[in-house]
Amino acid sequence: MKKRRRVARGIRLRRAVQIVVLLAFFGLVALARPQPGVAPSGWIQAFFLIDPLILLATWLAAHAVPLAALWALVMVAVTIVLGRVFCGWACPLGTLHDLAGRVFDKAQGKTRRRNAWSPRQRAKYYLLAGLLVMALFGGHWGTLFDPLVLLYRTTAVTLGPALQWAVEEGSTAVYQADPGIGPVRATKVTEPIYEFTRDHLFVVPGQAFVGGGLIAVFFVTILLLNGYRRRFWCRYLCPLGALLGLLAKRPFLRRATDHEACNQCELCGMRCHGAAAEESATGWRPSECMGCLNCTPVCNQGALRFEWAWPWRRQPAVQPVGLTRRAMLGSALGGLAWLGLMRATPQARGNTFHPRLIRPPGARPEREFLQRCTGCGLCMRICPTGALQPAVGEAGLEGLWTPRLVPQIGYCDYECNLCGQVCPSQAIELLSVEAKQATKIGLAAFDKTRCLPYAYGRECIVCEEHCPVPDKAIYTVEVEVVDHEGNRKVIGQPRVDPERCIGCGICENKCVFRDRPAIRVFSANETRHPDNQPILSEVDDYY
């Protein structure tokens, strides 16, 4: 009885750790916001630096990793000793799946069907094999589905803006209606909430992200799958769970069964989060066990316990997952074929460049950038103008959800280099502010059919006024125009100096045309691509 009470306390401890880690994760998301004159805390990268899947995939794809990413080896060591305890105790996405499973269990009733071992759980290992083969050939695409990356991106791009919309719109509605009871007004509650979130949580008023709906649909879908199988994502699809499962194949901490006491009631299997137990309850798969401890307190016979054992000792109760060489080879070939299909486009081959694929300053050349970028959304979250948005089709399928600058939404702040400071994989190199100001990420061009001085003969120097370059990349040339009545007047028509324009996008962002700006920034002339520079220097110019 005392032993069962100790295990029950262990379960309560696990749940407390899950909630604390989940809150810490969301707290670090909130911490990733620009503060004038203050460098971002290194803690905001913590979850990515301890992730062994990011470490392995980046090393395979880019053949280099940041030194700080070696912290992931700590998780490797913990997994080898204790098994997949990160999945059961600390993974924030796993905690959300656990909570969703509880909701579905109460709505549907607990059934053994949702917790029985299925050979289909091998799918995540085959998926991991394909993704790692892709990484070996330079495709970093698999980390898009890393659970930590997935949840951070979802929080930064969809959940955060949704909360911001609710707070801003709700407080505005209350402020305008000014409801209350006598002298007590509702704004006494809503206004402090609005001011706190504005000053300490949100980055840009009314922030929203392109493609956020697709990210939200994917996230909601994997949560709803808990209604079909408890922790469906963790059991069948999670690539990080698969990697940790391989590391936990022979842990030091193992489940032991007293076969004489066990009556094969299967209560332990019904409570298992990972479906790690055989239906007879005599077998146990450590690669699937998440260390949740749910199995031991429900055993009325006291037949289950966790004990220390040497990993090379063979135990009859320890069962393999049953991966086959043929399936692993097929997965590897499938990953290679999928990478080939993604690169079978002119843009992926470097034969053409998408005009609106404007990467942040410090971004490495496109192929190397894609070999490192995880699409985590950290740079998008911390961008002070909301300019960095997830790519949908601009970078091809291989560049899905990687950051790009959308000038109509925001611009690259001339004095800011935050994206390089927070990038956990160094896909965006850290440039000094001075080096960043000299880096060209694009080139502005006028649409003379819409620009006021060209198309309508009206004075306008908004783009010139906002150009942050000290010597002004936008200048005006005085020309004589004739209006509808035949009157002649002199106005200044703007021009772009390609030698000075850095493509920051503030001209496009501040243009008086809000539907389609009369000046737009394109990827041409970017420093990182020698082949995408149509503007030759005067020394190299030719006719």
- Last residue in a domain, options 308, 343, 372: 308
The answer for residues whose C-beta is within 8 angstroms of residue 176's C-beta and 6 or more apart is: none
- Last residue in a domain, options 308, 325, 341: 308
In terms of pLDDT, which residue wins out, 484 or 267? 484
Domain assignment of residue 247, yes or no: yes
Residues 196 and 241 in one domain: no
Q: Model confidence at 418, in pLDDT bands (50, 70, 90)?
A: very high
In terms of pLDDT, which residue wins out, 280 or 28? 28
Q: Are 247 and 150 in contact (CB under 8 A)?
A: no
Q: Model confidence at 111, in pLDDT bands (50, 70, 90)?
A: low
State the Cα–Cα distance between residues 396 and 400, nearest whole angstrom. Answer: 7
- Residue 229, CA distances (Å) to 114, 116, 128 in order: 5, 9, 20
| pLDDT, position 333 | 96
Going by the DSSP 8-state scheme, the letter that residue 359 receives in this structure is P
Domain assignment of residue 399, yes or no: no
Q: Are 416 and 386 in contact (CB under 8 A)?
A: no
Residues 69 and 187 in one domain: no
Q: Model confidence at 208, in pLDDT bands (50, 70, 90)?
A: very high
Q: β-strand 403-405 against 443-446: which pairing, if any?
A: unpaired
Domain assignment of residue 490, yes or no: yes
Two tokens, residue 375: 């699409």
The domain that holds 517 is classified in CATH as: 3.30.70.20
The pLDDT tens digits for 48-102 are 999 999 999 999 999 998 999 999 999 999 999 999 999 999 999 999 999 999 9
What's the predicted TM-score (pTM) here? 0.93
| pLDDT, position 193 | 95
User: The domain containing residue 71 runs over which residues?
Assistant: 2-141+217-308
Residues 7 and 137 in one domain: yes
State the Cα–Cα distance between residues 244 and 98, nearest whole angstrom. Answer: 18
State the Cα–Cα distance between residues 429 and 465, nearest whole angstrom. Answer: 30
Q: For 29-41, what is the HEC assignment?
A: HHHCCCECCECCC
Residues 181 and 284 in one domain: no
Residues 135 and 162 in one domain: no
Domain assignment of residue 522, yes or no: yes
Q: Are 455 and 449 in contact (CB under 8 A)?
A: yes
Q: Are 358 and 521 in contact (CB under 8 A)?
A: yes
Residues 114 and 260 in one domain: yes
Give the three-state DSSP class for 492: strand
Give the three-state DSSP class for 1: coil
Domain assignment of residue 329, yes or no: no
Flag whether pLDDT at 360 surpasses 90. Answer: yes
How many structural domains compose the chain? 3
Two tokens, residue 515: 């539907």
Residues 94 and 60 in one domain: yes
| pLDDT, position 315 | 67
Domain assignment of residue 526, yes or no: yes
* Mean pLDDT (whole number) for 344-356: 90
- What is the DSSP track for 259-298? TTT-----HHHHH-SS--B-TTSS-B-TTT------HHHH
